[in-house]
Amino acid sequence: MTQTSNRIRAVIVDDEDLARQVVRELLESHPEIEIAAECANGFEAVKAVTELNPDVLFLDIQMPKLDGFEVLELIGTDMAVIFATAYDQHALRAFEVHAVDYLLKPFGAERFEQALARARQRIGGKLPPPAELKASTRAPGEFAERIVVRDGTRVQIIPIAKLDYAEAQDDYVALASEGKKHLKQQTISSLEMSLDPARFLRIHRSYIVNLERVIKIEPYGKDTHLSILSDGTRLPVSRSGYGRLRAVLDSKA
């Protein structure tokens, strides 16, 4: 937490200048809150939050390039977050379940003050894991189309079609794509839930593979196998994973 002498540092993120101006003007009556940065897109937001470590984040949801949930996924949840959204009330239920503060556009000063009061109570606390927050907004049968990864202040976007496989590494996953590996703080189980099971399969407790990359399965010792990918990569397959993989490959034969 970056508060000093009860000062609160805030970052405002919205692709519309008018929307940022509204928040800025509403904060004028709160001299204890310092606007550390204003950002017009998700990339700027990731860089600003990483460098400035604010206490409060005013975050738009619908933005080009990176949406608000992807921004939150990349920067973590060590700050109080107030979403600004034009989503309808039905979609907002997902945020309420996770105790997320939100402002439904257009909003007035009274509603703003209510959200700000809740944010004050949340400073220093944590939101649910970002991956779970993002998953809660997906409709049944809807899966991720891309994965966002942060490297310092830089953001890497991996289209799902270019993900070869994922490997669990403690509380991280190593995402293999186009000959490179990208490390992301996420459990392999939550990643699995976000992926289309028709395209990706958990073949081992530590591995998820893109089924389009698998060209064959080879035996490897007693009751174990290896899946061979199109680029020559060899991944271990557990006994249960072998049954699932074999069934999928046989159905496509």
Domain range annotation of the chain: 8-135, 146-252
Tokens at 54, concatenated:
């604010």
Q: What is the pTM of this model?
A: 0.77
pLDDT attached to residue 1: 44
List, for the chain, all residue ranges whose pLDDT scores fall below the cut of 50.
1-4, 97, 99
Instruction: Give CATH for domain 146-252.
Output: 2.40.50.1020
Q: Per CATH, the architecture of 8-135 is what? A: 3-Layer(aba) Sandwich (3.40)
pLDDT attached to residue 17: 96
pLDDT attached to residue 99: 47
**Spatial distance between the Cα atoms of 69 and 74, rounded to a whole number of angstroms:** 9
